[in-house]
Structure 1
């Protein structure tokens, strides 16, 4: 569940505090753990996901 919350937060472009704060807010012990989960399920890192995020990803998350 925390992975899905992490993706939702990334799609919402929140928070301004960075990926470490975002991971902590979703229940991860540290940002490295969140990064491993994210890369395992998506094949890319969180920062790359945020850089390449487009309307299609946001649309797919709302379906």
Structure 2
């Protein structure tokens, strides 16, 4: 049995991606003409990301 790859890869324009993303229930990212489905974050991942976010100062634009 031979595995077949997708020989006719579909490439999208940024405009096509944005139009599809508005209708999509999943989140995707656009990279070099390809639309790649993003995996959902876990509860632990979201908690860690929130904790890291809290470490950064709120006024990062203010520079002395």
TM interval, short-chain normalised:
under 0.3
Q: Which has the higher contact order (CA 8 A, sep 6+)?
A: 1
The structure with the largest alpha-carbon Rg is 2
Q: When you count strand as a share of all residues, which structure comes out higher?
A: 2
Q: TM-score, normalised by structure 1?
A: 0.25
